[in-house]
Structure 1
Amino acid sequence: MSLAMTRALMGPTVYDRVLAVNTFGTKTVLLISALGFLTERPEFLDLAIVYALINFIGTIAVLKFFEYRDLGWTRPPEAGSE
């Protein structure tokens, strides 16, 4: 996890940083799941699923923001398509 955080802070491009933060989130989900399994607390799996969904939605939102510079803007229709 420390390597992913280092890459997130020092990544040469924005996309490297987004990938590193996504990797960090995925490893956190795995850590929460393993901790829940080892301590026999199944409610930790619910927390891990919620965290995974937040991680996924956040990654999509950040990538959309960097592509369009606005989260509400959509791509215009292609020329010739009706």
Structure 2
Amino acid sequence: MVKYSKEPDNRTKSCKDRESDLRAHFKNTRETAHSIRKMALIKAKGYLEDVLAHKQAIPFRRFCRGVERTAQGKNCH
């Protein structure tokens, strides 16, 4: 069982996620989660679909060493 440090104010409008045994890098999943944080569900789904279609990029803010600069990154600042 996972112990969360804070419970949401409104449980009907929030969600929690936990994953285990996935082949995913921590840095990539952290930046993806922080880019869709506090977005509406429909807007977040559209944003992630645009990322998969290479129309938008997910900005790397914390672990940004070695990440190339792109023209799509200018939309996030």
TM-score where L is the length of structure 2: 0.25
Q: Which has the higher helix share?
A: 1
TM-score (norm 1): 0.24
Structure 1 or 2, whichever has the larger Rg, is 1
